[in-house]
Amino acid sequence: MLSVDEEIFLNQLAQGIVRDSEGGVWFNALGTDDKLRLLRGLNAFILQARPKPEDVAVAISESRLKPTLTPCVLIAGPNLAVQLAKLATLPEFELPRVFRLLIKLLAAADGRRRREQPLDLVNHWWHRDLSDPEVVNDIKRTKGA
């Protein structure tokens, strides 16, 4: 299970509020168990954003990973939920690539949904302005309660 701080940070990364390099340093400093826990949490966010095949293609391109690398090949396969679960079983040296790819997939799917549908600021805290420290503190207060 992710902490509220981790949930906010992952969404800030996907929304481009936090730089990719900062996210990579943060992820790489974690132990293996925490990396896997974060990847599972990220998978849940991605599935909630209902990614489409075109979001996967955008994520692979935006991640700047070679499309022939295992994480990219897996995520482009059929049944995304199954493929996402497989990503967390890859060897540890692949996990930073998986993280980068999943952040870009969340960004693509969430960004597309934001353009296609009205934002639900009441029920979906991640649609609020996560660049505003007051908003972030309010989310931490209400989610942490």
pLDDT, tens digit (0-9, with 9 covering 90-100), for 46-98: 998 899 999 999 999 999 999 999 999 999 999 999 999 999 899 999 999 99
pLDDT of 11 over the 60 cut:
yes
How many Å apart are CA 24 and CA 41, to the nearest integer? Answer: 16
- Give the residue with greater pLDDT, 25 vs 120: 25
- Give the residue with greater pLDDT, 88 vs 102: 102
What tokens does 49 get? Answer: 């954003």
Please report the pLDDT score of residue 91 as a whole number. Answer: 95
Please report the pLDDT score of residue 18 as a whole number. Answer: 94
Please report the pLDDT score of residue 59 as a whole number. Answer: 97
Please report the pLDDT score of residue 136 as a whole number. Answer: 83
What tokens does 54 get? Answer: 């075109």
108-135 per-position pLDDT tens digit: 998 888 788 776 655 567 777 788 888 8
CB under 8 Å to 8, separation ≥6 — which residues?
A: 130, 136, 139, 140
CB under 8 Å to 70, separation ≥6 — which residues?
A: 90, 94
- The amino acid present at 3, given as its one-letter code, is S
How many Å apart are CA 136 and CA 128, to the nearest integer? Answer: 9
CB 91 within 8 A of CB 81: no
**Which contiguous run of DSSP H or E holds residue 7?**
helix 4-14
Please report the pLDDT score of residue 142 as a whole number. Answer: 85
Please report the pLDDT score of residue 133 as a whole number. Answer: 86
